Amino acid sequence: MKKTCEFVSPMHPDKICDRISDAILDAYLEKDPDSRVALETMGGHGCITLKGEITSFAEVDTDSIVKRIVGDGFEIIKRISKQSPQIAQGVDSDGAGDQGIMVGFATSLTQSRMPLEYELARNLCREIFKVYPYDGKTQVTIDGNSITTVVASFQNTNTVELEKLVRSLIKADEYYINPAGEWDIGGFDADTGLTGRKIVVDAYGPNVMVGGGAFSGKDATKVDRSGAYMARHIALKYLEKYNAKEVRVHLAYAIGKREALMKSAFVDDQEIEIEDFDVSPRAIISLLDLKKPQYEKTAEWGHFGNGFGWDNIQN
C-alpha cells in the first residue's frame, strides 16, 4: 500500500506564524502559568497581525518576540482582547475550554512511534535544513517499506547540489528536486502564513485522521492542544501495555464540561474503553506539566515523536 507524507521547514510562512504564536504563549506562561491564551498570527509581505484573546496577570512585549523571530522591517498590527467571561466560566470550573475531538496515534514500526512516511519526510526536511536554513518542503512516498519517490524544494539552493545532498540522505526509486525550478524568494516575501494551517504536519501526516483543532497559540485549557497531547500519551502507553503494532485514541469534549464525552482506544483495530486514565483538562495539565513554557519548540518540527513530556511513557 502506497503512503505519502510531506513536511515543511521552520521557515515556511505557516510555521513562522505558529512559532510566533507559541513564543508569545511561552512568554505569558513564564510570568503567569495560569495565563489564558488563544492567539493567531498572520504574516506576509511586510506585515504581521496578531489577533486573539489573552487573559493574564503578565505583561509581555509581543513586538520584541515578533522581531526576534522575523527581524525588523515588519508592521505589527494587534487586535487582542481578554477571554470571553462566558467561556471563562466553564474553564474556571475545570471544564474544557471548547468542544472537539482529539486523536492520538502510536505505531511500533518506528523508534519514534510515528508513521514511517511521516518520519522519513520529517527527518529529510530536518537534515536539509541544517545545510539550507530557509523555507522549504519535503515529501516522501513509500510502498510498504520501500521508498518510491522523494520530493524536495528548498529556497536558496542549487538544484544539482541539493540533489546530491538528498540522495546521500535517503534512497528512493525517483527524485524530484526543485521540480518547479530554483527559487530564492521564500518565507514571508513569497507567501502569507497563518497559525494552525499545518495541522496535518503538526500531527501524524495525512494517513492518520486529525480531530480538526490546531495546537499553536493555545494554552492547555484548550483541549485542542492538551487533549491531543493526552491522546498521544495514552496511545504510547497502550502500545507498550498490549504489545501492539498500532494504537489510535479518540477523545471528545463539550465546552465547560469536565468529563470527556468519549474516550476510546483502538488497539490493533480492537476497540477498548479507556478507564485507567483521568482525561479531564485539569488532570491532563497536571500529569503532562502543561503550564510551563515549552511550546515554541513544538512549532518547529512537529508535536509528537520529538521527546516532549507527552511522549514520555514513564509519567
Tens of pLDDT along 189-224?
999 999 999 999 999 999 999 987 899 999 999 999
Domains and CATH numbers, the chain: 2-9+115-185 (3.30.300.10), 14-85 (3.30.300.10), 100-111+205-302 (3.30.300.10)
Confidence band for 275, pLDDT divided at 50, 70 and 90: very high
For residues 291 and 220, is the Cβ–Cβ distance under 8 A? yes
Work out the burial of residue 243: count CB atoms within 10 Å of its CB; fewer than 13 is exposed, 13-18 middle, 19 or more buried: exposed
Q: What is the dihedral sign for C-alpha 268, 273, 277, 282?
A: positive
Work out the burial of residue 150: count CB atoms within 10 Å of its CB; fewer than 13 is exposed, 13-18 middle, 19 or more buried: buried
Bridge partner residues of 7 (DSSP): 138
* pLDDT, mean of residues 12-29: 98
* Phi, psi (degrees; rounded to nearest 5) at 130: -65, -30
Sheet harboring 75-81: ordered strands across? 75-81, 47-55, 36-44, 193-194
State the DSSP H helix or E strand holding residue 65, giving kind and residue range, or none if neither: helix 62-70
Q: Is the pLDDT of residue 255 over 90?
A: no
Confidence band for 95, pLDDT divided at 50, 70 and 90: confident
Q: How many CB atoms lie within 10 A of CB 57?
A: 9
Strand bridging mode 270-273 / 262-267: antiparallel
28 or 94, higher pLDDT: 28
Locate the DSSP E strands across the chain.
2-8, 36-44, 47-55, 75-81, 100-107, 136-143, 146-154, 174-177, 193-194, 246-253, 262-267, 270-273
CB half-sphere exposure, 49, CA atoms < 13 A: 10
Q: Locate cell 493555545: which residue?
A: 218
User: Per the structure block, which three cell numbers stand in for 28?
Assistant: 505569558
User: Per the structure block, which three cell numbers stand in for 137?
Assistant: 518542503
